[in-house]
Structure 1
Amino acid sequence: MQWRNSTDSYGLIGRLLHWLVAVTVFGLFGLGIWMRGLDYYSSWYRAAPEIHKSIGMLLFGQMLVRVAWRFFSPGPAPLASHGSLVQVATRLMHELLYLGLFAVMIAGYLISTADGRSIEVFGWFAVPASVTSLANQADLAGMIHKYLAWLLVILAALHALAALKHHFIDRDSTLLRMAGRVSKAQVSIR
């Protein structure tokens, strides 16, 4: 079992970070939509936002680890069958996903700390409010958070569709490399 990424595939740590982020993002998105429909008398009215914020803060930390991991263990080289346009599109999509993730989390932080209160992360630690004086901070950050979350989920869905296209139409090992099921002999399965 390989822990680090190689020139041919993603290692265990890279795959775990990728899939954990993916599941967390879609989970937070679903939780965010669900909790907006809660009324004041719901037993989840206060708990759901606290869970959402706590998981969001943990995701922020995980994304910092993920960025550091990319420098420590770069991803596999592009497949020989991928032309320059596919390589540019791949790089652009990854950069947009990373940028979108950080932007949506920062906007969420600005919503939660607009009133000057810190964010309690499952009672383990608190993330202090550092920016509280922006005009209409909670409303503006809330609007940005909402639209960026939708954009992020759409980009992630396109990312997944591209991986499926590579697997089923192009019949290359793009998806297999992230699933951890590729050997050097499988780098191109055409």
Structure 2
Amino acid sequence: MTKILTIKSDQTQLDVTVQSYGNIEALFDLLLGNDISFTETLSVGNNLRLLESPKENIKISTYYAENNIIPATNLNSDLGGFGAEAPLQINLIADGAVISKSQQSFMDIAIQETGDIESLMELAVLNDFTITGFLLPGTTVNATSTITNETIQDYYRRNLIKPATAFNEPPALAETLFEAGLFETGLFE
């Protein structure tokens, strides 16, 4: 049976997955079942179909439901005049730092550097970054994690695999900066 979940303020795809399925591994079931990308911003009030998933952890999803726990971790919603889809520049330099390339999402970096999607939240907190925010090409991300799958990590490194699965483009940076009053007209002409 298909259930429906209404998006609440500041919820991301991972929030909905953990709340509804009790297991982050069901993320792709949620995305495919709703024809959405991982980097797409969810709109408050929209409905998502919750198809059955073999990866569901009923014990955890029941706990969330019984205790009325609604995770909402979208850190970008509080950017003043920029709005929830503003690209963020991360300027952290540390051991384990990695530079993002075009079309890479935060999830891509997590898998590329740690070999495990479960490191995603740890890296997001470490970098003070939302997991669904836009990474500008050239962004430095601290990819030091306690969670690793060395087999996958080694495979990606040996084969020079750098996943780039972000479907959505950020708003035109120059337009955003002009609108925020950070640059004067004519600067890029």
* TM-score, normalization by structure 2: 0.24
More helix by share: 1
* TM-score, normalization by structure 1: 0.23
Asked which structure has the greater CA Rg, the reply is 1
**More RCO (CA 8 Å, sep 6+):** 1
